[in-house]
Structure 1
Amino acid sequence: MSEPISLYRKFTGTAGVMIISRCLAMALGVIYARYLGPEQFGLYSFVLSIIAMATLPAVAGLPNLLVREIANFHLEEKWGLLKGVINWSRIYVLSISLIVMLIMSGALYFNFFEPSVSDLLWVAIFLIPIKSLLAQQGAVFNGFRKPIFAQLPTQIFAPLMTLVILSCSIFFYSELTAYHLLYISLLSAVSAFIISAFLIRKKLLVTLKNATTDYITTTWHKVLLPFTLIAFIGTLNTELASVFLGFWGDIESVAYFKVAMQGVTLVSLGLSAINMVIMPNVARLYKEGDLEATQMLLTKSVRLSCFVSLPVILLLVIFGDFFISLLFGEAYLAGYPILIILCIGQAVNVLMGSVGLVLNMTGNENRVLKILVITLILNILLLLFLIPIYGSLGAAISVSVSLIFWNFLMVINVLELTKLKTWMFV
C-alpha cells in the first residue's frame, strides 16, 4: 500500500471517530447548556477546568514522550525497553495522581474555594487518576500506530454512555444539576478506563508477554521534564481563560466562553486527527534520516487538515449566531463574537500545520518549552488586562493572539532546526 493512500485511510478512520466524538460532545454540550442554564453550566465548566489543570502534573508531557519512545523502541526491536516504558509510565501516573488528590483534598478542607465550587470538587477529584490513566493508555495505542483504538474508549464510549445516562435522568427526573453531571462523568470515565485497559491487554501487550522488562528511568525522567512543562504550559494557555473568567469575571461568562469553544473543537478536528496519525511516523522517518519522506508527509498532512478545517471556520463565522441560537438557545448568543475571535486564531493554527509535533518528535522539545513560556507570559498579561475590561471577549482575544504568536515563532524554529516546512503554502 502506498504511503499517501495509507495516510488518507488512517486519517479518514481517525477523523471519522473524531467526528462522531465531536457530535456526541456537541449533543452533550447542548443538553448541559439547555437544562442547566448559564449559571449551573458555567459552574460545571469552571470545576472541570480546575480538574483539567489538576490532572496536568500526572499526564503533562507523558503522551508525547510515550509515543516517541514506543515508536523508536518498536522500530529498533528493543522489546524489553518497550515493555519497561509502558510499566513505568503507568506507575508514574498513579503515583502523581494520588499526590495531586491529597493536595486538592487539603485545599478543599481549608476552604480554598467557594462552597458551591468545593461541593463539586469533592466529587470531581476522583476524575484525576482515571483521566490520567486514560491519557497514558491512549498514548500507548498511538505509539503502536493505532490511533483509532486510542480514541474509542474516551472519545466514543464515554460520551455515549454519558448521553444515555443523561437522557434517562432527564426522562425520569426533572431536576438536573452540575452535581449530577459530575457523578455521571465519573461513572463514564471509569467504564472507559476498563475498556481501554482490556483492549491494550488483548491487542498490544500479548506480544510483549515473554519479553524481559528493562528500565532506563533516569533517562525517561530527564526527557519527561521538558515534555511535562510543555504540556503544562500549553494547557494553561487554554484553560487559564476559563479559570480567570471564573475568578475575575462572572460565572455566566465562563458558560459563553465554553459554548464558543464547542465550535473551536470542530475547527481543530482536522489538525488533531492528522497529528494522531503522523506523530509516530514523523518520529520514525526523522530518526532514519529520511527528510524527503518526512517533508512529503508534512505537506500532505497540512493540506488535508486545511481541506477539512477551513470550510468549518468559514461556516462558523458566517452562521455561528444561527447555530448557537438553534443548539444552545438565545441565552447564549453572547458567545458568537467570542466564537469569531477564536476562529481567527484557529485559522492561523491550521494553516501553520503540525509545528509543535515536529519539534517534539525530532528531539527539540527544549525549544518548544522556551517558546511556550514566552507565550504563556503574553497570554497571562493579556488576560489580566483584557478580562476586567471586556470579560469573555477579552479572554477570547488573549487566547487567539497568543495562539497566533506561538505559531509564527514555532514555524521559524521548525525551519531553523529541522529544515522542514509545515505550513500550508509549501
Structure 2
Amino acid sequence: MLKQISKNSFWLFLSRVLTQLFQLIFIGIIARALGVQTFGSYVLFALILFIGNIFTTYGTDALLIREISREGKISASFSASAWLQILLSFLWLVTLFLCSVILKFDSQTRISLLILNLSLIPLSFQSVFNSLLRAFERMDVYSALNVFTILIQTLLAFLFIRGSEDLLLLCVLFFSNQTFIAMISYFVCKRVVSEFKSIEKPIFSEIINILRTGWRLAIYFPLSAFHQRLNLFVLSFLSGQELTGLFSAPARLMDGMKLAHFSVSNGIMPSMAKPSTQEIKSTLQTSLLFLLAWSIIVGIVIFFFADLLINLIYGFAYSESIPTLQIIGFVLIPYTFSVYFSLQLIMAGKENRVLRITFLSLLLAVILYVYLIFNFGLIGAAWGTLINEIIFASFLLIGNRAIK
C-alpha cells in the first residue's frame, strides 16, 4: 500500500513540475506574441474559464473518486456526472453570451470568449475520465495525459500565434486541443481500466441525485480557494496595492512549496475512500508524518534563508517581504493537517461538516485579518495567515475526531 501511494505521489509530483514548466513557456510565448493589451484580454478570458470549470465540475471529481474507490467498480454516477457537467457548461455559455450582449462586447471579443469557454464541454468528459484514472490509481496515465495536454497547447501556440490579431485563433486552438485530449482520454481509459464502460444516455433521476449529493462540494472547493486567498483581498482593501505586492511575493513562493502536499494528498485520496484496514491506517499515518517532516524542514530552511530567497528571486526592491516570508514559511505545518483532515472528512462522506468548519473559519479569518492588518500592516497579514491556518487545522482535527 505504501509503495503504491509513493508511486502515485511521484507521478503527480513529476507531472505538476512539468506542467508548471510548460505553462510558464506557454505564457511566455503568447505574452510576447499577443502584446500587453491582447494578452490581458486572454488572461481575463482564461480566468473566466477557470471559474466556469470550478462551477461546472460541481465537486463530481471527488464524489466519483470516493464512490469508485469504495466500491471498486463504476456506477451510474459516472455517466450522470458527465451529463450534469455538460448541462452546467451550456448554462454557463448562455450566461456568458447574455453578459457579453449586456456589456456590449464587440463581435470578435464575444466569439473569442465563447469559443474558449466552449472548452468546458470536452473538459467535462476529461473530468470524469481523469476521476476514473485517479480512482483506479492509474496516476501514471493521468499524469502523462496532463503533461501531454500542456505540451500540445504550447506547441500549437509556438507554431501558429504570431500577433495581437491572433486572439481568436488562440481560443480556437485551445478548444481544439481540449477536444482532442478528451478523445485521447476516452481511448486511454478504455485500454487501461478493465471496468471501463462508455458514457450512457442521461438518466434524469441519476443527474438529480448527483445534484443533491454534490452541492456541498460544489460550494466547498471555491470557498476553500477563497479562504486561502482571503489575506490578499483584505490586504488590498485596507492597505493598497504596494503592500499587496510585497505580500504576494512570499505568498507565491510558498504556493510552490505546497507541491509535496498536492502530490501526496491526491495520491492518498483513493486509499482514504476505501474501507479502513490496519495497513491503510498505517500508510496514511506515514504519509501524514512525511508531509509534516517536509513542512518543518521547509519552515526552518526558509526562516534562515528568507533574505537570500527574496533577493535572488524578486530582487532587493522586495526586501521588506523578508520578515513576512520568515513567518508564513511555517504555515505549511498547520496546512499539512488542514489538507489531510479536510480530505479525510470528504472521503468519509462528511462534506457537510467540512463545509460548516470552512464557513466558521472564514468568518473568524475576516475578523482576524482586518484587526491584524489594520493595526500591524504587512507583518499583521503574515501573522494572520499563520494563526488562521492553525485555527482552521484545529477545527478540522476536532471535526475529524468526532467521526471516529
TM-score after normalising by structure 2: 0.76
How many residue pairs get aligned? The number is 399
Rate the CA distance shift 1:62–1:264 in 2: closer, same or farther, 3 A.
farther
Does 1:194 pair with 2:183?
yes
Q: Return closer, same or farther for 1:98/1:250 CA change in 2, 3 Å cut-off.
A: farther
Q: CA deviation at 1:272?
A: 1.4
Match of 1:263 in 2: 253
Residue pairs, 1:337-348, within 5 angstroms: 343-348=329-334
Aligned partners of 2:295 and 2:332 also within 8 Å = no
Q: Does 1:226 align with 2:216?
A: yes
Q: Does 1:48 align with 2:37?
A: no
Further displaced range: 363-372 or 129-138? 129-138
Is this contact kept in 2: 1:124–1:182, CA < 8 A? yes
Aligned pairs for 1:235-246 within 5 A = 235-238=225-228
How much has 1:105 moved relative to structure 2?
1.9
What is the aligned partner in structure 1 of residue 360 from structure 2? 374
In 2 relative to 1, CA 113–205 (structure 1 residues): closer, same or farther, beyond 3 Å?
A: farther
Structure 1 residue corresponding to 2:61, chosen from 60, 63, 78: 63
Q: 1:108 to 1:366 in 2, by over 3 A?
A: same
Partner secondary structure for residue 140 of structure 1: helix
Q: 2:156 aligns with which of 153, 165, 177?
A: 165
8 Å Cα contact 2:23-2:154 kept in structure 1: no
Post-superposition shift, 1:345?
Answer: 3.2
Task: Indicate the SS of the match to 1:195.
Answer: helix
Is the alpha carbon distance of 1:218 and 1:116 closer, same or farther for their aligned partners in structure 2, counting shifts above 3 Å? closer
1:357 aligns with 2:343: yes
Asked if the contact 1:270/1:304 (under 8 Å) is kept, the reply is no
Contact 2:57 2:85 in 1 (8 A): yes
User: Aligned equivalents of 2:375 and 2:115: distance in 1?
Assistant: 34
- Alignment equivalent of 2:399, drawn from 380, 404, 413: 413
Q: Indicate if the aligned counterparts of 1:285 and 1:293 stay in contact, CA closer than 8 A.
A: no
**1:285 corresponds to which residue?**
275
Deviates more, 1:13-22 or 1:362-371: 13-22
| Residue 331 to residue 249, structure 1, CA distance change in 2 (3 Å) | same
The one-letter amino acid of 1:273's match is S
Q: Within 2, Cα distance between the matches of 1:230 and 1:333?
A: 36
How far does residue 416 in structure 1 lie from its aligned partner after superposition?
A: 2.7
Q: How does 1:307-326 map to 2 (within 5 A)?
A: 307-308=293-294, 311=297, 314-315=301-302, 317-325=306-314
**Which residue number in structure 2 is paired with residue 298 of structure 1?**
284
User: Residue 106 of structure 1 aligns with which residue?
Assistant: 98
Given that 1:84 and 1:213 are in contact with CA atoms closer than 8 Å, whether structure 2 keeps it comes out as no
For residues 123 and 255 of structure 1, what CA distance do their matches in structure 2 show? 33
Offset, 1:276 = 1.9
Equivalent runs, 1:73-152 vs 2, <5 Å: 73-74=71-72, 82-111=74-103, 121-152=113-144
Deviation of 1:30 (Å): 6.1
Let me know the Cα RMSD of the aligned residues. Answer: 4.8
Mapped to 2, the partners of 1:187 and 1:242 lie a distance apart of: 35
Q: What does the per-residue CA deviation read over 1:356-398, in whole Å, with 9 as the maximum and x for residues that have no partner?
A: 1100111211100101222333456678889999999998877
Instruction: Kindly indicate whether the alpha-carbon contact (under 8 Å) linking 1:49 and 1:242 is maintained by their aligned counterparts in 2.
Output: no
Task: State the alpha-carbon separation in 2 of the partners of residues 52 and 387 from structure 1.
Answer: 29
Asked whether the 8 Å contact 1:59–1:136 carries over to 2, the reply is no
Question: Cα distance, 1:260 vs. partner?
Answer: 5.8
**Residues in 2 aligned to 1:238 and 1:382: alpha-carbon distance in whole angstroms:** 14
Give, in angstroms, the shift of residue 274 of structure 1. 1.3
**Structure 2 CA distance for aligned equivalents of residues 398 and 10 of structure 1:** 34
Conserved in 2, the CA contact under 8 Å of 1:22 and 1:265?
no
How far apart, CA to CA, are the structure 2 residues paired with 1:36 and 1:341?
A: 39
Tell me how far 1:301 sits from its aligned partner. 0.7
**SS of alignment partner, residue 285 of structure 1:** coil
Taking structure 1 as reference, are residues 247 and 271 closer, same or farther at Cα in structure 2, changes over 3 Å only?
Answer: same
What secondary structure sits across from 1:145 in the alignment?
coil
Taking only the aligned residue pairs, the percentage that are identical comes to 18
User: Hey, what's the Cα distance between the residues in 1 that align with 2:66 and 2:355?
Assistant: 17
Matched to 2:263, the amino acid is A
| 1-structure distance, mates of 2:28, 2:292 | 27
Aligned to 1:421: none
Shift of the alpha carbon at 1:230? Answer: 1.7
The answer for the alignment partner of 2:22 in structure 1 is 24
Q: C-alpha displacement at 1:199, in angstroms?
A: 1.4
Shift of 1:271: 1.4
Q: Which moved more, 1:335-344 or 1:365-374?
A: 335-344
Q: 1:367 to 1:132 in 2, by over 3 A?
A: same
Distance 1:183 1:220, change over 3 A: closer
